Amino acid sequence: MAMKTRADYLASLADGRRLFADGVEVGPDDLFTNPQFAQSIRLVADGYDKHYRPGAEASGPYFTIPTTIPELRETLADLLGWDMVTVTTSQGLLALLTAAARIRAGLPEHADRIERYFRWCRENDVRCVQAITDAKGNRKLPPSKQDDPDLYTRIVERRPDGIVIRGAKLHISSAAISHELVVMPTKNMKPGEEDWAVACGVPVNAPGVRIVNTSYAPRDREDDFPISREHNMPEGFIVFDDVFVPNERVFLDGQTEHSATFAHALGLWERLGGTAHLAEQGDIMVGLAQLIAEANGTDTVSHVREKIAEMVIYATLVHAGLEAAITNAEPSPEGWMFPSELYTNAAKHYGAAEYSRMIRHLHDIGGGAILTAPSVADFRSAEVGSYVAKYMRTMDGVDGEYRARLFHAIRDLTADAYGGWNLVTMLQSGGGLYAQRLVARKHFDMDRAKRLALAEARMPAHLVAAGGESRS
């Protein structure tokens, strides 16, 4: 099979998929003009154009499996220039391969299915999203104790040729404009919860799949939304209503002891990508803070300089954590290179935990006009345009419209619909902060730390032998 062109991708969306937005079904004729989908489809189509190469053996760089640290670093650098769907495809398939490496000893056939599925995705140049977060119902109760067993996606029938699944997956970015849904357990399942321990690949247009969508795409005043008008994706609420999955697409079928493997593997790659985006966002926010301070005439004010310095340190430390995650990568038995669990989770935790404070600094530096600056269209008004331009300027060299556009960029990035999406995404991508703390602690060399502490305390050996050493 050959790589898809832009035209191939656009044609592939007319495959009978069931999409809903604002309470109505969106058919293929309306998909390309609906504001919830139009720009995101263009972004993905641009990606197909950007990466297309002729030839039966050609494949996109997003299907690269890093086997060395330089290759891992290159893949991560490239990722920042891809659209979200292509990023998700790369991260999700690398997560699947990571899971395959970890389950191979116990489930060799399932690991082989994952590798065959990866090759099929590469040969057909499809885009994939990971469907992991269940509805979950009452968070106090496990899947088997819910008053509705479908609140966690589950197997409702096992057939000789496959399984039938039912349930829902929430918060699935760009599902509506992708080709494949990679279903994974949202958590570790226990004995007795075999029906909920399911991982598989499902086509978006499979019978029984419906996707309910929402979006932060701006509906008007696009000049005032310089970021979200160019970068937006539909958020999918995916319903699986008795969907059949053939055996060759089933990666986990009741083996509870391996149920957490998929979520942990996806968390690793999502957190690495999330850290890369946090580092880039940190740099952007530093730039916006400096630019608006200069435009306001406050760039020499001490508290402004201190806040920008703190933002610089934040961005630098996130970059450092990202570099440590790559430099300390480890190979799998297959020779695939996986980033360091410890440094990936520590860096993602720090970047996400401090992100909102960096936004607070940016808002404090910018001021109230972040929300109240006149529209770009107001500068074109014959009646009030000259007044807006006059009173929005601050000094020679600082045009009023230039300053207003900076305010709009800050608002769009941090304080509007896209800004809210971005804030929650930076925090939750790859799982919340608690999950990152758990994984970081698991991979930290606590025994070494305790030995160092005991040595520093000059602890007598007989006291250590008598049980003075604390438990990990």
Domain map of the chain by residue range?
A: 6-258, 261-446
DSSP code per residue over 65-96? ---SHHHHHHHHHHHTTS-HHHHHHHHHHHHH
Strands (E), 77-197: 128-131, 154-159, 162-173, 180-183
Secondary-structure percent of the chain, ordered helix, strand, coil, rounded to 5: 55, 15, 30
- How high is the pLDDT of residue 106? 96
| φ, ψ of residue 451 in degrees (nearest 5) | -60, -45
Which residues contact residue 360 at a Cβ distance below 8 angstroms, ignoring those fewer than 6 apart?
none
pTM of the complete model beyond 0.85: yes
Other beta carbons within 10 Å of 404: 24
Which residues contact residue 13 at a Cβ distance below 8 angstroms, ignoring those fewer than 6 apart?
28, 31, 41, 177
Angle between helices 84-103 and 38-51 (to 10 degrees): 70
- How high is the pLDDT of residue 217? 85
Nearest alpha carbon to residue 170 among 136, 206, 121, 218: 136
The reply to whether 261-446 shares the fold of 6-258 is no
Residue 211 pairs in a beta bridge with 19, 238
- How high is the pLDDT of residue 1? 67
Residue 292 has which token pair? 């608006």
Q: What's 261-446's CATH class?
A: mainly alpha
Structural fold of domain 6-258: Butyryl-CoA Dehydrogenase, subunit A; domain 2 (2.40.110)
Return per-residue pLDDT of the chain as tens, 472 residues: 689 999 999 999 999 999 999 999 999 989 999 989 999 999 999 999 999 999 988 999 999 999 999 999 999 899 889 998 999 999 999 999 999 999 999 999 999 999 999 999 999 999 999 999 999 999 999 999 999 999 999 999 999 999 999 999 999 999 999 999 999 999 999 999 999 999 999 999 999 999 999 988 888 888 999 988 888 899 999 999 999 999 999 999 999 999 999 999 998 999 999 999 999 999 999 999 999 999 999 999 999 999 999 999 999 999 999 999 999 999 998 899 999 999 999 999 999 999 999 999 999 999 999 999 999 999 999 999 999 999 999 999 999 999 999 999 999 999 998 899 889 988 888 888 998 999 999 999 999 999 999 999 999 998 998 765 455 5
| Burial category of 408 from C-beta neighbours within 10 Å (exposed 0-12, middle 13-18, buried 19 and up) | buried
Residue 180 pairs in a beta bridge with 128, 203
- How high is the pLDDT of residue 430? 81
- How high is the pLDDT of residue 471? 54
- How high is the pLDDT of residue 129? 96
